[in-house]
Amino acid sequence: MMDCAAKLKEFTAEDLKACTNGFHQNNLIGATQFGKLYRGQIKLGFIGTDQARAVTVKIWDEKSRCITSIHDEFLMVKEEVQFLTHPSINGHPNLVKLIGYCCEKEVKAVVYDLNPWDTLHNLTVKDYLNWVQRLNVLLQFARLLEFLHLQDKPYLVLNINASHIMLDWDCRPKLFDFGHITGGIIGEMTTLKKQIPISIGFVDPFFIAKGGSFWHTSCDVFSFGVILLGLIAKRGLEPVCVEKPHLGLDCLVQYWAKKEYKPNGSLVHRSLQEDWGYVDEDGLAITELGMRCVEFFPRNRPTIKKAVELLEGLLVFQRFGDARPNKREKKFHGIGNHAGGT
């Protein structure tokens, strides 16, 4: 397929059907903008391992309205493999790690070395995350964006939403969608990518106002702010497609927040204020950060580097240092022993 994929396993469509039980509904994690995400199980010895391995399989759906003749699945697979296998990127703890890919006529897919808990969207809907877990997810994801933005040729993700972030069983976020990524080894935004429909729930409104011609790291900061506000306020993090305008803007967390926010006020959900590790000062500080991230004008938003500094300065991290989600938790929201148990 490509030089950078030389060390990857080239799966067949039958291989992927076997490890996902025929892409069975029971193994479906969720939908992405371009396809679907499945749990899989690779058998003993199949890729040279001495034991069976849990994996995640992402397939591109050629029937998706977001994949058209202007940007086919093969090109998207090639670009993702190129990005994730590059030495400057490969191994980052908050990016998925590739095992292999499939580029047959019937199936276009990639296989990740990841035993997933669920997507951030699903876990938010199920209300499975407590306060410390939410803060850790935000801090780790902000650090990932900082890493991407501070490359010699900065990367812009531009398609950040909660359905494109998975959490493993240690509650570590893993970005797995790169359909709009630009910069670095990928290069500048192409005319083809500009024509791909986007999820307006997380996209920078200034970017839209400029007709999609404004490309800047502040676009990712805005999307991060939407995720932040949704997590602390327990508001829905559903991507709203441009093809569903009837849903309206009132359902978007950033518009709700701008109506509800009062200066020096908190948007943290009442139930989260009862969790271990919560202090009022953190609630105020993180609310203010979220509101700054979703400012309309990019110049009014913090850089992601500044956002990381503000998150690292929260009292929960300062007082307890190692505030991992599976350490010293006193209260949970319906989750099992895998995530957050002692």
pLDDT > 80? residue 250: no
For residue 10, what are the CA distances in angstroms to 2, 14, 87, 148? 11, 12, 20, 28
Condensed to tens digits (0 to 9), the pLDDT of residues 259-280 reads: 999 999 999 999 999 999 999 9
Q: Are 58 and 176 in contact (CB under 8 A)?
A: yes
Condensed to tens digits (0 to 9), the pLDDT of residues 177-215 reads: 998 899 999 988 777 777 776 677 888 888 878 877 778
Apex 113 CA angle, 108 and 119, nearest 5: 80
Percent of the chain with pLDDT over 70: 81
Domain 12-115 identical in fold to domain 117-320: no
pLDDT at 6: 62
Closest CA to 134 of 32, 233, 259, 13: 233
* Residue 293 binned pLDDT confidence (cut-offs 50, 70, 90): very high
For residues 209 and 150, what is the distance between their CA atoms, to the nearest angstrom? Answer: 26
How high does pLDDT run on average in the chain? 85
**Domain 12-115 maps to which CATH number in 3.10.450.710, 3.60.110.10, 3.30.200.20, 3.30.70.890?**
3.30.200.20
pTM exceeds cut of 0.85: yes
Residue 243 has a CB neighbour count (10 Å cut-off) of 10
Residue 99 has a CB neighbour count (10 Å cut-off) of 21
Condensed to tens digits (0 to 9), the pLDDT of residues 34-91 reads: 899 999 999 876 666 667 899 999 999 876 656 554 456 788 899 999 999 999 999 9
pLDDT at 66: 62
Residue 139 has a CB neighbour count (10 Å cut-off) of 20
Give phi and psi for 156, each to the nearest 5.
Answer: -120, 125
Condensed to tens digits (0 to 9), the pLDDT of residues 118-132 reads: 999 999 999 999 999
List strands edge to edge, sheet with 173-175: 116-119, 165-168, 173-175
Using left for φ > 0, alpha for ψ between -120 and 50, and beta otherwise, residue 19 falls in alpha
The enclosing H or E element of 288 equals helix 280-293
Highest mean pLDDT among 18-32, 232-246, 318-332: 18-32
The residues near 100 (Cβ < 8 Å, ≥ 6 apart) are 8, 9, 10, 11, 47, 110, 111
- Buried b or exposed e, range 255-292, using 16+ CB within 10 angstroms: ebbeeebeeeebbbbeebeebebbeeebbebbbbbbbb
pLDDT at 94: 98
Give phi and psi for 197, each to the nearest 5.
Answer: -60, 150
Give phi and psi for 38, each to the nearest 5.
Answer: -130, 150
**Domain spans of the chain, in order of start:** 12-115, 117-320
pLDDT > 50? residue 164: yes
pLDDT at 5: 58
**Domain 117-320 maps to which CATH number in 1.10.510.10, 3.20.20.450, 3.90.1150.10, 3.40.50.2300?**
1.10.510.10
Condensed to tens digits (0 to 9), the pLDDT of residues 143-161 reads: 999 999 999 999 999 889 9
pLDDT at 115: 96
Mean pLDDT score, 110-115: 96
